[in-house]
Amino acid sequence: MRRYATLLFLFSVFGANLFSQGLNTTASKDDWEEINFEFNSAVLADGYPSLLRLADLLQKHSDYRVKIEGNTDRVGSNNYNEKLGQKRADTVKAFLVKYGASEGQLSTTTQGKRNPKVDNNNKDGRFMNRRVMLTVTDGQGKIVSAGTIGEAIAAIDPGMAKKCCDDILKRLDKLDEIADLLKGMRGENDALKKELADLKKAQADLDAYVKGQPKPLTSAETASIVDTRTAEQIEKARMPRFSIVGINAVSTRIGILHSPAVAVTSPRSKNSSPFRRRASTCTSRNARKASLMSVL
């Protein structure tokens, strides 16, 4: 049922395209169907019944020849439209060869946008100008007419029509596969988005934790603390090398000034230094002299 529904849809599209070609056109019932294209495209999406009949006709009559002429609307440069018209003609030729015609029966050319069929100032007119025109001649060079649409459909070989439709359905099946792949990619993309959101949240939590910690000392504060402690340590480590033991100065009644006795000690040798023993001896003698002088 799915295949029949698809075929019905395709033939309805073909009918709509055929009807659109009848808008203000000079085509007659004897002219072969013009194959229309979407904007800026050379993909064949129109005229399958007519082309299938023509391919069958060319296969049965090897002396028949077909001139395939590609045309465009007025949008774009001349050079670009020349190439686009040629691509459209080549697409139609490839279809006819695939379904029975020989390449020697077909010739292609392009008019670009030089030969519009109707006015280009509206959407319908530009669609009708994006076309491929077919001219069929017999072995004597006489024009071979297409007949009516009904005659064209009736003349299609059922086997060829089935092959064509099967090819189209295969392409539709591939589109279903592509759609399934896209759905799978969407699921993976959603999972990646969630992981990214979790990572961003973890980063934000870490930033908040770091900002909540005590701020480190500045370089000036650190230098001040280091200088103060260094000065204190140096002061504590400093040890005196020498100390003055005592100075005695004694004056006598008779005006004689006795030199003071000075003893210098070293912290490292208080008892064993010879200088200290000598100073002690001098001090004792001076003390006895001072005592005798006071008595006198």
CATH number for the domain spanning 105: value is 3.30.1330.60
Residues 163-212 pLDDT 10s: 666 777 676 777 777 878 888 888 888 888 888 999 998 998 888 888 88
Please enumerate in sequence order all residues whose Cβ is within 8 A of that of 110, keeping only pairs 6 or more positions apart, or say none. 69, 70, 71, 82, 83, 85, 86, 88, 89
Tell me if 185 is assigned to some domain.
no
Helix (H) or strand (E) holding 198: helix 158-212
User: Letter for the amino acid at 25?
Assistant: T
The domain of 35 spans 2-176
58 within 8 A of 66, measured Cβ to Cβ:
yes
Per the model's pLDDT, the better-predicted residue between 221 and 235 turns out to be 221
Tell me if 223 is assigned to some domain.
no
Same domain, 248 and 138: no
Closest by CA to 72, choosing from 133, 122, 135, 126, is 126
First vs last C-alpha separation in the chain: 156
Per the model's pLDDT, the better-predicted residue between 288 and 110 turns out to be 110
Tell me if 222 is assigned to some domain.
no
Burial class from Cβ neighbours inside 10 Å (0-12, 13-18, 19+) for residue 12 reads: exposed
Residue 184 pLDDT = 82
Domain count of the fold of the chain:
2
Tell me if 202 is assigned to some domain.
no
